[in-house]
Amino acid sequence: MSRNNQSEHGSESIDESRRTFMKATGAVTAASAVGVGTNTAAAGANEDDITELIEELSLEQKVGQMTQVAIDDLGEGFGPETAFDDHDDVDTLGQLLAEHHVGSVLNGGATGPTFDGEEFVAGLNDLQRYTVENTDHGIPFLWGGDALHGNTLLDGCTSFPQRLNMGATRDVELVEAAATHTGNEIAAMGGHWIFGPTVDVLRDMRWGRYFEGHSEDSMLLGELGRARARGFQRNGRVAATVKHFAGYGTPNTGKDRAHARTSMRDLRTRQLPAYRRALEEAETVMVNSGAVNGKPAHVSQWLLTQVLRERYGFDGVVLTDWDDFERLQSNHQYLPDTPDGWRRAVKQGLEAGIDMHMCGGETPPTAFIETTIDLVESGDVSEERIDESVRRILELKRRLGLFDQPCVDEDEIGDLVGGARDVSERLAKESLVLLANEDDVLPLEGTEDVLLTGPGIEGETPNRFLMQHGGWTLGWQGIEDGDLTEDGPRPRQNTIAGELADRLGDRLTHVPTEFEAAPYGSIYENFDNGFFDVTDEQEAAVVDAAETADTVVVVLGEGPHNEGFGDRDKMRFPEAQRDLVALLDAETDDDVPLVGVIVAGSPRGTDETFDRLDAVLFAGQPGSDTGVAVTDALFGDYNPSGRLPFTWEANVGHVPLFYDDYPPRQSVGAADGMVQFEFGHGLSYTDWEYAGLSLSTPAVEDPASTSTVTARVGVENTGDRAGEHIVEVYNTEFYGSVLQPQRRLMGFERVALQPGESATVDVELDLATLEVVPGDVPGDQAAVVEAGEYELSVGDETTTLTVENEASITDPEPAPGRYDIDGDGSEDFEDVMALYRRLKRRKRGESGRHESGHGRGNDRGGERGHEWDR
């Protein structure tokens, strides 16, 4: 069905009910002005209509719009009469929407009240119809959820490869195609909001959300984030979310929601630029649950207003993360755990720039609603501030077409669930990274007797597939949160065991070893992300099969996990897996290749195990098409082309050793001992050679006006197999006014060549990747590309790019707030005067003590402004 048809169908019933509502009340409501009940986009609202609507809303109704409520604990299905069990303050979903005017609901953790697509749509339509009919202004609610690697909320879904896999492909278009499909599914489900892309720079494999972040490289991450946001939003009916703004990806010591390990310079040249790229597309932002430089992000005016709004010009909706006002008291211990502490949390969050609060398991919706109303009524927060947020929220609803088409066709979802198989399969294949391949033991001939072993079957329940999907798949911590039921939901999928059996028939012996996913438990017991074991019988079967096998394939890795429950303190494989590999090594002849396939969302494995393996394929968490992708790669039907999107340290003690850190990344001469595999590492079954790196222009006069340069390089497939290859151009040497990373990725391009074939490949280089913050320790000057000679490299080919004049590409201003002398959140004339007086006093030799002692929090900034004037 076409979009026009859906629009007509979807709005018909509402149209009818709105007419009934308006007849009954005899009122022409502001909602009619914004087009509820009309059935063409042309009759839709404009900005003036939104202004009119806001004028008509009561304070309660406005604050309701700013409230998002998790409706997770619903049992089967959902509708207006469904009990709201998450908190005691509201009885039914209908009440939540009609009496408390809640503007948005979410199903967190990639699960809804039903796994059936059509049931889902029917429930959501029902609820939406009820909301429009039973509220004064008929404003539809926004539904949001975590469709983070596909629409992994429905039975039979396509689970696209996880974000880390996406980073390995460097295939921006394909990643966008997957996101487009996801956005279409969410729209067809009646949803409006995807809480992705995640654009948090990755650096620490101990972090339980490592699998989510795409890459440790800011540019690659930002490009993929932007493409995914564009894909999600392509149909115009769904909003994407850039999260978690900002600095969430580098929590200290890898503990989820800890304060960020970063510096001002790092934040401004590596972390913020990634979000900024994705913000070019995304309509909404979710805030970092952690703190940056000692300030919780949720109350940071600097991040949420000065940087995000004023500097980046972002005017979309800013959403808290789950219960994050409460977390200011519990997690951060930033405010006391008292009613007053909670009130201050809400106040500071609103002042910092939050538009909508996500009420999860800890925050009863009325707690946020009543506190906000009280803050306004007592004059602590202005109603204008509230109106500002409500405008953004209503504008979003208008842009997404909610006023025109609040409900959707119930038949549309059926055809989409489990679709885009070609995209998923290709993405899975491109994401495989061949780490090692001694003596070219891979690919296999296809005629071997193969022993397949490793974590696989527990009891009667086949669960190898839990590892291949990871978190946010039909469950927060993975499918059914790792606790499988016989008739529970499953993604559309194929497995390594299944595909190998299909190809090898009797020549495959499969000895699955014990694996129990225990996402909530393993953090407390062993930090292994699951429990792994090899029973005596399994050991005996392995020994037996090893004797006759021509090749052994051993699957290694980690179970599904998510957020804090996924945090770990190990990089090496769990003991049972290490022992299994040692056993295989001992029980096989030297000429029997041992092939390791790592199924994990992080760099799992150390040389203790790698040294025993002849070939290692890092599969990541490739999702639905893991079986086909891995098997094709093992047999050479697909030639691996993925490159690591992260640095694989030699062991956990060296974490973090990200590739573009300042030198020295490790003690002099110790690189080999500290890094197992470098960022960008990835082997192929064929050989690649480069020739003649040149630039479209060897010298750039002004990077502000010429911010890209094209590199051209000859690439030849000199081996005897067809293959794909990612050409990466790095800046490898530069001496500037501050430390420079030893390598910086500036651009990449994928090429496919037959054996003996060569091509000239053009790679667009983004000079913004060269920006640094000059100056001394504060790191607050404007970021610039410094003048000088930059060595650029592709493999061993090098050339020089000369930058003739220093210039800013992304932002010519110093760090926001640098001139905010009085700390009131704006840089204005008052600050100039204050600075003038400060300098004058300093000249007279007076102490500036009281001037610099202004550290007590944003809410006192205004008062301090007066102090300065005295």
Q: How far apart are CA 627 and CA 491, in angstroms?
A: 13
**Residue whose CB is nearest to ligand BGC in the complex, by number:** 108
Site for ligand BGC in 99-128 (CB under 6 A): 108-109
Contact string 763-802 vs ligand BGC (x = CB under 6 A): ----------------------------------------
Site for ligand BGC in 233-262 (CB under 6 A): 243
Q: How far apart are CA 312 and CA 276, in angstroms?
A: 7
Q: Rule CB under 6 A: say whether 404 interacts with ligand BGC.
A: no
Residue closer to ligand BGC by CB (options 62, 243) is: 243
Is the distance from CB of 419 to CB of 158 less than 8 angstroms?
yes
Residue closer to ligand BGC by CB (options 266, 321) is: 321
Residue closer to ligand BGC by CB (options 477, 509) is: 477
Minimum distance, C-beta of residue 332 to ligand BGC, in the bound complex (Å): 15
Contact string 312-351 vs ligand BGC (x = CB under 6 A): ---------xx-----------------------------
Distances (CA, A) of 717 to 423, 442, 727, 753: 25, 18, 12, 6
Of the candidates 865, 694, 674, the one whose C-alpha atom is nearest the C-alpha of residue 763 is: 694
Of the candidates 190, 265, 282, 283, the one whose C-alpha atom is nearest the C-alpha of residue 228 is: 282
Contact string 57-96 vs ligand BGC (x = CB under 6 A): ----------------------------------------
Of the candidates 748, 742, 729, 746, the one whose C-alpha atom is nearest the C-alpha of residue 795 is: 729
Minimum distance, C-beta of residue 566 to ligand BGC, in the bound complex (Å): 12
Length of the chain: 870
> Which single residue is written with the structure tokens 């029902």?
126
Minimum distance, C-beta of residue 89 to ligand BGC, in the bound complex (Å): 20
Number of residues that bind ligand BGC (CB under 6 A): 9
Residue closer to ligand BGC by CB (options 105, 581) is: 105
Residue closer to ligand BGC by CB (options 331, 810) is: 331
Residue closer to ligand BGC by CB (options 209, 268) is: 209
Strand stretches in 741-818, DSSP E: 744-753, 758-766, 788-794, 797-803
Q: How far apart are CA 284 and CA 462, in angstroms?
A: 39
Is the distance from CB of 211 to CB of 224 less than 8 angstroms?
no
Residue closer to ligand BGC by CB (options 476, 688) is: 476
Q: How far apart are CA 434 and CA 546, in angstroms?
A: 24
Beta pairing partners, 750:
726
Q: Pick from 78, 130, 193, 195 the residue near ligand BGC by CB under 6 A.
A: 195
Q: What DSSP state is assigned to residue 583?
A: H
Q: How far apart are CA 502 and CA 500, in angstroms?
A: 5
Contact string 283-302 vs ligand BGC (x = CB under 6 A): ------x-------------
Minimum distance, C-beta of residue 69 to ligand BGC, in the bound complex (Å): 12
Backbone angles phi, psi at 161, to 5 degrees: -55, 145
Helix (H) or strand (E) holding 67: strand 67-70
* Those residues with Cβ within 8 angstroms of residue 47's Cβ, 6 or more apart along the chain or in another chain: 395
Residue closer to ligand BGC by CB (options 108, 222) is: 108
Site for ligand BGC in 485-544 (CB under 6 A): none
Residue closer to ligand BGC by CB (options 361, 714) is: 361
Residue closer to ligand BGC by CB (options 109, 498) is: 109
Site for ligand BGC in 139-178 (CB under 6 A): 146
Minimum distance, C-beta of residue 228 to ligand BGC, in the bound complex (Å): 14
Omega before 774 within 30 of 0, i.e. cis: no
Q: How far apart are CA 282 and CA 278, in angstroms?
A: 6
Q: How far apart are CA 266 and CA 264, in angstroms?
A: 5
Residue closer to ligand BGC by CB (options 564, 775) is: 564
Minimum distance, C-beta of residue 473 to ligand BGC, in the bound complex (Å): 13
Of the candidates 169, 156, 116, the one whose C-alpha atom is nearest the C-alpha of residue 432 is: 169
Omega before 812 within 30 of 0, i.e. cis: no
Minimum distance, C-beta of residue 360 to ligand BGC, in the bound complex (Å): 7
Minimum distance, C-beta of residue 195 to ligand BGC, in the bound complex (Å): 4
Q: How far apart are CA 161 and CA 629, in angstroms?
A: 11
Site for ligand BGC in 708-727 (CB under 6 A): none
> Which single residue is written with the structure tokens 């897996």?
577
Token readout for 94 is 């209908």
Minimum distance, C-beta of residue 146 to ligand BGC, in the bound complex (Å): 5
Residue closer to ligand BGC by CB (options 72, 587) is: 72
Minimum distance, C-beta of residue 180 to ligand BGC, in the bound complex (Å): 20
Residue closer to ligand BGC by CB (options 322, 532) is: 322
Minimum distance, C-beta of residue 385 to ligand BGC, in the bound complex (Å): 25
Residue closer to ligand BGC by CB (options 193, 638) is: 193
Minimum distance, C-beta of residue 300 to ligand BGC, in the bound complex (Å): 17
Minimum distance, C-beta of residue 289 to ligand BGC, in the bound complex (Å): 6
> Which single residue is written with the structure tokens 């996924």?
566
Residue closer to ligand BGC by CB (options 148, 616) is: 148
Q: How far apart are CA 561 and CA 547, in angstroms?
A: 36
Minimum distance, C-beta of residue 615 to ligand BGC, in the bound complex (Å): 36
Minimum distance, C-beta of residue 243 to ligand BGC, in the bound complex (Å): 6
* Those residues with Cβ within 8 angstroms of residue 858's Cβ, 6 or more apart along the chain or in another chain: 299, 301, 348, 351, 352, 823, 825
Residue 672 CB: number of other CB atoms within 10 A?
A: 9
Q: What DSSP state is assigned to residue 856?
A: S
Residue closer to ligand BGC by CB (options 271, 731) is: 271
Strand stretches in 313-376, DSSP E: 317-319, 357-359
Three-class HEC string of 377-388: HCCCCCHHHHHH
Is the distance from CB of 158 to CB of 149 less than 8 angstroms?
no
Residue closer to ligand BGC by CB (options 167, 213) is: 213
Burial class (CB in 10 A: 0-12, 13-18, 19+), 386: buried
Minimum distance, C-beta of residue 194 to ligand BGC, in the bound complex (Å): 9
Q: How far apart are CA 191 and CA 265, in angstroms?
A: 39
Instruction: Give the helix, strand, coil percentages of the chain, each rounded to 5.
Output: 40, 20, 45
Beta pairing partners, 457:
462
Minimum distance, C-beta of residue 358 to ligand BGC, in the bound complex (Å): 7
Residue 292 CB: number of other CB atoms within 10 A?
A: 21
Residue closer to ligand BGC by CB (options 223, 324) is: 324
Backbone angles phi, psi at 59, to 5 degrees: -60, -40
Minimum distance, C-beta of residue 144 to ligand BGC, in the bound complex (Å): 8
Q: How far apart are CA 214 and CA 200, in angstroms?
A: 8
Strand duo 508-516 + 450-455: pairing: parallel
Given the rule CB under 6 A, which residues bind ligand BGC? 108-109, 146, 195, 243, 289, 321-322, 563
